[in-house]
Structure formats: structure tokens, C-alpha cells
A and B are shown apart, each in its own frame.
Chain A
């Protein structure tokens, strides 16, 4: 599963590192490192991490509802037409 973290949004809450420690880890006090290609068996943990991120900074492939927040404004723009 592919994933990307918007590190502009990331505030180092470390919820992801707590919920999916094999995918996310803190490096130093507040920077996040992650594996952008999470193994399939991490799907459930990754989904929980995506949902738990307080700033919704994680986008992942193929997780229901994941990563859709960013296209929300686009969706609204279309619906408003």
C-alpha cells in the first residue's frame, strides 16, 4: 500500500507511530519518518493511523475514506456548480 504524509500538516503528534509502529517512527523529537510502501499486513493498522491523525496529514491508497479529505474542497466545488 502506498502512502504519503503531508509533512507541512504534520505536527508530530505521533499518533501514527503509536498505532502503526512498523510504518511510522519518530526521528528525533518531532520529525516523522515513514515507509511510503507499507506491507499489506499493515492495512488495518495503517487505516487506524490515517483515521487517528489529528491533522489528517496521511493519504493512503485503497483505504476506505482515506485521503479523501484533500479532494473534499474539489468535490464541494463541483457540487456547488
Chain B
């Protein structure tokens, strides 16, 4: 590669971004902010310009924001060619071309993949097509679900009590709609926060009138004679009548279009180095394909260099900025993406926030407040160090714990706190479910996983 390639690229190169959502937009803005003057193309499968998703399961369902008006503000002019409403269907790494669903092909000098994830559909496709069976990922999904909630359904049934499912249940209760939530694990949010915190989330739901069913799975959805969903059958043989069913079973990474491209892309995302450069299927780093956002998985020094794939809003922004910077600078000027994982949720009037990677933790200490008050900070420990923290209505402490995680502070937590209750003096097991259970796909993937392997097989360690 000639020494002036990067200078040429910055002046007149062609950069293509596949994925026109939060990460794609912020990457485009960063490219221009850092002086990229060449041709910029953004490709998105939805017909809309980039919009924000977190409000879709919160203020939109509460009727406080329109699902059609959550477009993201632009930080600057990006002077891009937009190809919206057309999906990318293939990638030719050697010819440096992205193939589009309409038959067109777009050439690039450098490519950024930010195709994110989509909602995991109901496992039986014919039942999933019943009228009243909803997903919640896109703005069209949110508009549809909002209309159905507004019509005053007799009962809403939510399959899956992760963050999205719990937020839907919360919105239903706040608007007075009866709601049943089914969760395969023993409590809501256990995959993200473990059983101890999950028990608090369970109390929160039941006290707000949610009919919470745990340790059950949905076996089938029953439709009426005109194809509307009318009942949900559960593994404990109970039947719940409902006219809206929200399938909230997590997400699937949008990597199908890369099958056969030679890129290290699979069901767990696209592997990349700390500088956001994608690996090919042989584990060799590419230098012209970059990855950012939910679809990326990259090694993180703070978490044992394991590959993290984070479906976090802040990660999409930070990784996009780093990827964009690295795309148009010389090797020595590149930066690693070492963002401190953080997320938020809000349900039943409680603000839930977290830093670090809670599912890596095996022990938990309540360091501020008390579980019973639902106002607390829980700190997760892993091999003698602080690895994560979660807060319920106590967010101002998280910055402090983020610093503790960064410096590898010891666990159990030793510093005195102002309001430490008896329950916080001893660490307890954080009680995460077995990550090999298929419903609890790990957010942290062991490095032994081959990114070329498209055929993941789960071997549950216990039954």
C-alpha cells in the first residue's frame, strides 16, 4: 500500500456505510468532522433516515412521543448519498463491492458495516403471522403496537421478560391494560443482571399488577377463525387469552447478507480487532472493512480481552466514532475501542442503569441502599475484582463504580459507604442462569469461538 494511500482516501476515496441507524449516522458525521472529503454512501434497509430506538418501547408506547418522529438529530452536515429502503445482500471482498437488493452494486475503498440486529421472530412462522402478534424493534413495529394498545386490548401477552419485554409490560400497566408476562428463567432480567436483582424486578412487576409467569415457556399461539391471535398456550398447560402478543425474545444479528463473503461473520456478530477492523474467516484482520455497533464483537482489555458484543446505545455511538476515525488515519494514529459498557432502562417508574459487564460477575454486593427499598447499587465481582455495577434509582453512583472497574478495584468492596445495610456486608452469588441455555445468549463470547462457524450448537451444562 503506498504511503500516501490514506491521504488520497481522505481527499477523494469512496467510503460506504452499510446500516443507516445510530452507528451509521454517527460514523458518517465523524468522518466529515475529521476531514474526509471523498464520496460517502449510506445504505439502509428501512425507508427512513436514522431514528432513535430507545423511545420506541418507552415514551412511544406511553403516547408521549410519536413513533414517526424519533429521527436522530444530526451533529453536522454529512453530504452523503443515501440509499434507503434497500438492503445490502452481499459483499465481494476482493472486488470491494456491496451488492444491493435492487441488483445494484456499490464500490468502496473502505467499508463500514453497522447493520445491527433485528428482533428474533416467534419460532413458529405461521403462528407469528397471526394478526395481533407483534415484534418491537423498528419504528413500524412501535407504531403498530402503539395502535393496538390504544385500541384497548383485553389482555396483552409478553413472551420474554428481558428489558424490552419488561418495558412493554410497564407501559401496559401504566396505561391500565392487563398484561401477562412469560419468562423461561426464574425472574425478569436474569440474563442481564442475575437472579438476585431479577427477584427485585419480579416484585416490581407483580406489585404493579403484572401477571408474571416464570419457569414457563410458550408452546403455541392460538388463532381464531379469521386469523387473529386469541390465546397463548404455556408449558405448564395453562392457557391465557390475549388479543395482543408481543414477542420479546432478544435479537438476531444482521450478518446473513455476509454469508460466503469470507468475512468472519456469524450468528454472534462480526469479529473485529480493538480498532474495529473486521476479521476474515481465517482470523486475519482486513484493513478496508470496519465494523461498529450491535453487530460488532471486539476484544476489550478490561474484560480479559474477551470478545464483547454489546447491544448498547452508547456503544454504537462510541464504536462508530472510533471506527470512523480509524478508517481515515494512518496506523500509528488509530485508537482502540475501549468503551466502558453501560446501559439504561426504565420500568414501573424505576430507573435501572448499569456499567461494566454484569453477566461476567459471579458475586454481588449491595453497597448502597437496600434491595427491599428498590433503591440501591449492586456491585458485581469476578475473580477478586469489581467487574460491573447496577443501580435502581441510584444512578449517580455509577460513575464512581465505572472508575473502580477501570482500575481493577478489589472485590469484595472494601471502602466504607454511607448507608451500607447489613445485607451489603457479605457478597452473595449473583445467580446468573447457565449461559449455555439458548435463551440466554452470552453478551460475552469466549475467544475460543470460531467466527467462521455458522452452525452454533448449544450444549447445556445442566438441566
Contact = CB atoms under 8 A, between A and B. Distances in A.
Interface residues on A, range: 20 to 34
B59 A35 contact: yes
B343 interface: yes
A37 B52 CA distance: 11
Contacts, number: 105
Contacts of A6: 313-314, 317
A3 B72 CA distance: 7
B30 interface: yes
Contacts of A68: 75
Interface in B44-80: 52, 54-55, 58-59, 62, 64-66, 69-76
A16 B373 CA distance: 27
B183 interface: no
B395 interface: yes
B59 A34 contact: yes
Interface in B338-354: 342-344, 346, 348-351, 353
Interface string B326-346: 000000010000000011101
B346 A31 contact: yes
Contact of B70 (A10, A37, A70): A37
Interface in A59-81: 59-61, 67-68, 70-71, 73-75, 77-78, 81
20 contacts: A2-B72, A3-B73, A4-B52, A6-B313, A7-B54, A8-B342, A27-B349, A28-B393, A29-B350, A29-B351, A29-B393, A30-B393, A33-B346, A34-B65, A36-B65, A37-B65, A67-B75, A71-B29, A71-B30, A73-B321
Interface of B: 29-30, 33-35, 52, 54-55, 58-59, 62, 64-66, 69-76, 313-314, 317, 321, 325, 333, 342-344, 346, 348-351, 353, 375, 393-396
- Which 7 pairs between the two chains have the least Cβ-Cβ distance? A28-B349, A37-B69, A31-B351, A61-B73, A31-B346, A2-B73, A74-B33
